[in-house]
């Protein structure tokens, strides 16, 4: 873990930035992330080929924002690497994406079209059929690489539901195209489209393809129910990307005022926005520090500067203090005052780990399941001007209230060890009667209730 504070003063534009070895948590990572060896310039990236100013601007932007600039290595080599391949604006995005990915597997260059899709995910609204899909699972519960896609959850009253499509239906073709060799992202793109347009879906057992009219889909961020045979409420949060997620979670919790306890399911929740996770935490925690971050400030590669932030809950607000910015306040919800357990697995990542780490450090929830993914490095979006699109670059590192770092999501993945380790049988479904992790949470909360009587 980081060493004791040793404060250094750095100046930029006549403003003092406080930089500490413990708080920046950067220098000590150089042992974990040695600078990559300088790559040999590709033979076809010779000085004879004309450089691309647009591509170079994106690389310069990355260099001035990335958390660990020593990963950049030979910047000039990266700038000239694709001189001979870049012939168009589309090539700029393509090869900038390849270059940035080689520096950091969590970073990517997005085209304007991709940014539109990300915006749709943020709001939870998009043109689709109102059904989730996946591949059939083998005997070990692993989705098969080929074959028909299986319909999962259906939105009641949505386009698929209105056309009689049911969970378990097998889709073999979309618009006459065989989908047996398509990837899941490719399949999703086939089903999504402009609101009001039709998509033809061929389903095993139906004589004719089903024409489904796409509509704007508001996919619920939260699932909730009372668990049969108990007085426990179950709430599941799908992601931390939708800004309405905390309010939806609050509404779900308010449905069960007489519940003795709550089981909060974060399995397969790969994260999202820090601000959303802070508001979610306010539903379960009354006060205290919840998150610490070190973020790169735009600065030269040879003199990188960093900002330190600490976010805490008070009785009436979520407050973030910074070494370079004014204090920021965010609306908080009222915390529930019930015993609760949190379910996690290897696909609980990023913002999920932010929440779980804070709850575990404050010792107010029992964490049940398997070790989490291991990613608490954060990315920010930087506009590519004038090229369009955005670059998503790792620019911050997050820590729990007790200064735990859970990993970068790629080369180092410490994750969070649950308080109670329980394996999950992948041949079963989440929140089903056979869900071993959920059943472990029910047993744990039942035992707690007995001990308090």
Give yes or no for a contact between 356 and 367, defined as CB atoms under 8 angstroms apart: yes
Decide: residue 408, CB within 10 A, 0-12 exposed, 13-18 middle, 19+ buried. buried
Give yes or no for a contact between 161 and 154, defined as CB atoms under 8 angstroms apart: yes
In a domain, 294, yes or no: yes
417 vs 347, more confident: 417
- The mean pLDDT value for 161-167 works out to 92
How high is the pLDDT of residue 221?
Answer: 84
- Residue 205 sits in the same domain as residue 104: no
pTM summary value: 0.78
- Residue 58 sits in the same domain as residue 96: yes
Task: Output the average pLDDT for the chain.
Answer: 85
- Residue 432 sits in the same domain as residue 366: yes
227 vs 102, more confident: 227
Res 163 pLDDT > 80: yes
DSSP string, 184-240: HHHHHHHH---TT-EEEEEETT-SS-EEEE-EEEE--SEEEEEPTTSSEEEEEE--B
Residue range of the domain that includes 344:
222-378+395-452
Give yes or no for a contact between 148 and 171, defined as CB atoms under 8 angstroms apart: yes
Quick: pLDDT tens for 398-426.
Answer: 999 999 999 999 889 999 999 999 999 87
Question: 164 is written with which tokens?
Answer: 């009689």
Q: How far from each other are the two terminal CA atoms of the chain, in whole angstroms?
A: 41
b/e map of 236-252 (b: 16 or more CB within 10 Å)? bbbbbbbbbbbebbbeb
Give yes or no for a contact between 57 and 384, defined as CB atoms under 8 angstroms apart: yes
In a domain, 99, yes or no: yes
Give yes or no for a contact between 409 and 350, defined as CB atoms under 8 angstroms apart: yes
Round to whole Å and give the CA distance between 202 and 67: 47
How high is the pLDDT of residue 122?
Answer: 63
In a domain, 96, yes or no: yes
pLDDT band at 121 (very low <50, low <70, confident <90, very high): low
How high is the pLDDT of residue 44?
Answer: 46
Res 251 pLDDT > 50: yes
Give yes or no for a contact between 195 and 217, defined as CB atoms under 8 angstroms apart: no
Res 42 pLDDT > 60: no
In a domain, 76, yes or no: yes
b/e map of 116-135 (b: 16 or more CB within 10 Å)? eeeebebebebbbbbbbbeb
94 vs 35, more confident: 94
How high is the pLDDT of residue 178?
Answer: 94
Of 148-152, 228-232, 382-386, 428-432, give the lowest mean pLDDT range: 382-386
- Residue 346 sits in the same domain as residue 233: yes
Round to whole Å and give the CA distance between 204 and 328: 55
How high is the pLDDT of residue 426?
Answer: 79
- Residue 192 sits in the same domain as residue 244: no
The whole-angstrom distance between residue 185's C-alpha and the CA centroid of its chain comes to: 16
Give the residue from 1, 2, 19 showing the smallest Cα distance to 308. Answer: 19
Question: 203 is written with which tokens?
Answer: 């389903």
For the CA atoms of 392, 395, 397, 398, the dihedral, rounded to the nearest 10 degrees, stands at -60
How high is the pLDDT of residue 288?
Answer: 98
- Residue 363 sits in the same domain as residue 228: yes
- Residue 143 sits in the same domain as residue 49: no
Round to whole Å and give the CA distance between 393 and 378: 8
- CA of 271: how far to CAs of 186, 414, 448, in Å? 22, 16, 30
Res 328 pLDDT > 60: yes
How high is the pLDDT of residue 40?
Answer: 41
In a domain, 350, yes or no: yes
Res 316 pLDDT > 90: yes
pLDDT band at 21 (very low <50, low <70, confident <90, very high): very low
Output DSSP code: residue 100: H
Give the residue from 233, 258, 236 showing the smallest Cα distance to 245. Answer: 236
Residues 6+ apart with CB under 8 A from 151: 131, 132, 133, 160, 165, 166, 167, 168, 169, 170, 171
- Residue 96 sits in the same domain as residue 32: yes
Output DSSP code: residue 267: T
DSSP string, 329-367: EE--PPPP-S-EEEEE-TT--THHHHHHHHHHHTT-SEE
408 forms beta bridges with 375
Question: 292 is written with which tokens?
Answer: 């610490």
In a domain, 31, yes or no: yes
The domain that holds 276 is classified in CATH as 3.90.226.10
Quick: pLDDT tens for 252-310.
Answer: 999 999 999 999 999 989 899 999 999 999 999 999 999 999 999 999 999 999 999 99
Tokens 């999950």 sit on residue? 424
Query: Is 156 in a helix, a strand, or coil?
Result: coil
Question: Per this entry, what is the length of the chain?
Answer: 453
pLDDT band at 32 (very low <50, low <70, confident <90, very high): very low
The count of structural domains within the chain is: 3
How high is the pLDDT of residue 266?
Answer: 97
Quick: pLDDT tens for 55-98.
Answer: 999 999 999 999 999 888 888 899 999 999 999 888 988 899 99
Looking at the chain, the whole-number percentage of residues with pLDDT higher than 70 is 87
Q: Which of 80, 95, 114 is at the close of a domain?
A: 114
The alpha carbons of the chain give a radius of gyration, in whole angstroms, of: 24
Q: Which of 179, 200, 218 is at the close of a domain?
A: 218
Give yes or no for a contact between 417 and 404, defined as CB atoms under 8 angstroms apart: no
The whole-angstrom distance between residue 34's C-alpha and the CA centroid of its chain comes to: 26
- Residue 212 sits in the same domain as residue 232: no
In a domain, 405, yes or no: yes
- Residue 205 sits in the same domain as residue 272: no
Give the residue from 378, 377, 379, 375 showing the smallest Cα distance to 413. Answer: 375
How high is the pLDDT of residue 248?
Answer: 95
The domain that holds 159 is classified in CATH as 2.30.42.10
In a domain, 389, yes or no: no
How high is the pLDDT of residue 329?
Answer: 97
Q: Which of 218, 246, 266 is at the close of a domain?
A: 218
- Residue 45 sits in the same domain as residue 153: no
How high is the pLDDT of residue 202?
Answer: 96
Output DSSP code: residue 142: P
pLDDT band at 140 (very low <50, low <70, confident <90, very high): low
- Residue 151 sits in the same domain as residue 261: no
């Amino acid at each position: 873990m980081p060493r004791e504070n040793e404060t250094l003063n750095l100046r930029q534009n006549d403003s003092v930035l406080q930089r500490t070895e413990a708080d920046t948590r950067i220098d000590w990572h150089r042992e974990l992330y040695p600078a990559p060896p300088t790559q040999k310039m590709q033979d076809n990236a010779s000085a004879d080929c004309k450089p691309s100013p647009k591509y170079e601007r994106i690389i310069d932007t990355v260099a001035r924002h990335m958390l660990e600039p020593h990963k950049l290595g030979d910047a000039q080599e990266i700038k000239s690497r694709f001189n001979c391949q870049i012939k168009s604006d589309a090539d700029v995005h393509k090869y900038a994406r390849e270059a940035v990915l080689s520096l950091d597997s969590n970073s990517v260059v997005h085209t304007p079209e991709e940014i539109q899709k990300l915006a749709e995910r943020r709001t939870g609204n998009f043109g689709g059929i109102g059904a989730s899909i996946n591949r059939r699972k083998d005997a070990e519960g692993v989705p098969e690489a080929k074959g028909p896609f299986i319909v999962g959850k259906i939105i009641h009253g949505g386009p698929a539901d209105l056309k009689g499509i049911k969970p378990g239906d097998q889709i073999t073709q979309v618009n006459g195209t065989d989908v047996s060799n398509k990837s899941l992202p490719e399949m999703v793109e086939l089903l999504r489209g402009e609101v009001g347009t039709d998509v033809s879906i061929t389903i095993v057992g139906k004589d004719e393809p089903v024409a489904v009219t796409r509509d704007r889909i508001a996919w619920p961020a939260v699932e909730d129910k009372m668990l049969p045979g108990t007085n426990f409420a179950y709430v599941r949060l799908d992601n931390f990307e939708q800004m309405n997620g905390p309010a939806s979670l609050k509404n779900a919790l308010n449905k069960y005022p007489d519940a003795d306890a709550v089981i909060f399911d974060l399995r397969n929740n790969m994260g999202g926005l820090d601000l959303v996770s802070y508001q979610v935490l306010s539903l379960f925690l009354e006060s205290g520090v919840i998150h610490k971050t070190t973020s790169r400030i735009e600065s030269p590669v040879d003199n990188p500067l960093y900002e330190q932030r600490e976010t805490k809950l008070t009785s009436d607000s979520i407050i973030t203090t910074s070494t370079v910015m004014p204090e920021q306040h965010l609306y908080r919800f009222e915390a529930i005052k019930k015993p609760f357990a949190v379910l996690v697995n290897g696909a609980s990542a990023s913002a999920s780990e932010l929440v779980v780490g804070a709850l575990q450090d404050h010792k107010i929830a029992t964490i049940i399941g398997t070790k989490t993914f291991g990613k608490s490095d954060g990315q920010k979006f930087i506009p590519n001007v004038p090229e369009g699109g955005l670059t998503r670059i790792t620019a911050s590192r997050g820590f729990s209230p007790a200064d735990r770092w859970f990993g970068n999501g790629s080369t180092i993945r410490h994750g969070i060890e649950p308080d109670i380790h329980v394996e999950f049988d992948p041949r079963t479904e989440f929140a089903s009667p056979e869900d071993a992790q959920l059943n472990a949470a029910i047993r744990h909360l039942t035992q707690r209730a007995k001990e308090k009587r």
